[in-house]
Amino acid sequence: MNDRKPEIYLKRKFDDTLIEWKANPRRLPLIVKGARQVGKTECVRHFAEGRYKSFIEINFVEKPKFKAIVRDGYSVEAIVGNITQIDPSIRFVKGCTLLFFDELQEFPEIATALKFFAQNGSYDVILSGSLLGVHYHRVESFSVGFQDSVELRSLDFEEFLWAHGYTAEQIGEICAYLVNRQKIPDAISTTYSKLFLDYVILGGMPDVLESYFLTKSFSGSLDVQKRILRDYRADIRKYCEGLDPVRIQNVFDDIPFQLAKENKKFQISKVAPGARHKDYWGCVEWLQDAGVVNICTSLDFPELPLKAHKDRSAYKLYLADTGLLVAQIDEEAQEDIRVRRNLGTWKGGLFENVVSEALVKAGVEPMYYKKDNSTLEMDFFLRSGNDLVPVEVKSENARAKSLRTLIASEHYKDISWGIKLVNGNVGYENQILTLPQWSAFLLPRILKKG
């Protein structure tokens, strides 16, 4: 747990989500899901400043005594009365109070009160906590129909650019180059590429980036990342109800090694000696629900609609934050990446991970395709109207054999063009749009405008 006040606040897209929520006259209590330390608490505190006469924060880990607020039932009157009994300094102002229940995973029963707060309407209510994805079905059952939910993830590359001072207008200008398939001026492209590599190493966890922007250096970033990873492992041991924590941790720890291989399909048999899929049932899903991994599901055939072709028996696993992936690898590879900026054998896995992360943060479910008994494989797919757009990720600017095959073959009727992400600039040839790797966060916008 990290309850200190940050020395700087990093602007988030989630800020606008909270502002829009408050502007809705029929707003319901809001549940904020997300992995540990992605900035949920800081975002809510920042949002409350200047918008409410009274901001009441109740953290069920720091102050477990507040679990007693439901001893007289779940009505608004009973809960408000018991809160002020426990702490008489707290003031409730009707119509101008935000009540924030934090660390909800420690006391999910409080969600039962959401129905009564929604019906009463005198106070705004936000609930948050780590591993709410794991507990969400239980939380939702307490208040079905009387709450909204959103998920917060670590900062994406666009938010990283904001923190560097880049404006939405400047990023819009860059997007225009991509939409119009025009080469970006070399000086601008080089600057974005360097910042992108910094982002790959740092990731988007707020504590890591706060130190980076305060010190203007990478000093201490690895220590913060390793602390977060220790916290994740502690959460696995504490909250994995009904599952073996050792097996969940084995899956989590093996992701970097499997991404370093040519075949990046996640194989349970490689996790531990004698590991069988049936013994690890639920482990991968637990990590996804906890918000620490992204699952990229296989397609049995690349055509629309994609969800009709999902093969859930085959998948790739990516870390939800690429900086944490970098922090998991061995010390020699760490030095290659951090000091020499040489990604070596990790290039493919790292860049696939960061593209998967960008797509998920943009609201796109990642899916891939591997043709049986063939070298044909495609990293990701996007939809643009009636077109299925394959996306191939290259560590440099190599030939895209699989992409060319999908476009040219009459067997893939929904595919007429594709995107290649490279360490380079914009280009267009033979129905292949070449884009720089760092532009992955813009892909949905490019397809919408193009």
User: Would you list the DSSP string of 53-94?
Assistant: SEEEEEETTT-GGGGGGGTT-SSHHHHHHHHHHH-TT----T
pTM of the model: 0.93
With a cut of 80, say whether residue 4 has pLDDT above it: no
Indicate whether 341 pLDDT > 80: no
**Cis-peptide into 305, omega within 30 deg:** yes
Nearest CA among 82, 76, 73 for reference residue 116? 76
Which 8-state DSSP code applies to residue 137? H
Interval 176-192 mean pLDDT: 96
pLDDT for 1 equals 45
Stretch 157-171: mean pLDDT: 97
Q: Go through 79-93 and write b for each residue having 16 or more CB atoms within 10 A of its CB, e for each that does not.
A: bbebbeeeeeebebe
247-253 average pLDDT score: 95
Residue pLDDT, tens place only, 92-109: 999 999 999 999 888 988
Single-letter amino acid, residue 120: N
Q: Are 381 and 306 in contact (CB under 8 A)?
A: yes
pLDDT in tens, 109-149: 899 999 999 999 999 999 998 876 666 666 666 667 788 99
The first and second tokens of residue 329, run together, are 């690898």
Rounded to whole angstroms, the Cα distance separating 275 from 398 reads 36
DSSP letter, residue 366 = -
Can you say how many angstroms the Cα of residue 9 is from the centroid of all Cα atoms in its chain?
A: 19
**367 phi and psi, to 5 degrees?**
-140, 150
- Contact in structure between 132 and 40 (CB atoms under 8 Å): no
Query: What token pair was written down for 183?
Result: 């080469």
Helix, strand, coil: what percent of the chain each, to 5?
A: 50, 15, 35
As to burial, measured by CB atoms within 10 angstroms (0-12 exposed, 13-18 middle, 19+ buried), residue 137 is: exposed
3-state secondary structure of 165: coil
Those residues with Cβ within 8 angstroms of residue 299's Cβ, 6 or more apart along the chain or in another chain:
306, 309, 310, 311, 367, 368, 369, 381
Of 232, 225, 195, 196, whose CA–CA distance to 210 is shortest?
A: 225
Highest mean pLDDT among 234-238, 337-341, 363-367: 363-367
* Cα 24 from Cα 20, distance rounded (Å): 6
Q: Are 344 and 380 in contact (CB under 8 A)?
A: no
**90, 84 in Cβ contact below 8 A?**
yes
- Whole-angstrom distance, CA of residue 389 vs CA of residue 16: 30
For residue 432, the one-letter residue type is: I
Which H or E run contains 191?
A: helix 186-202
- pLDDT value at position 346? 64
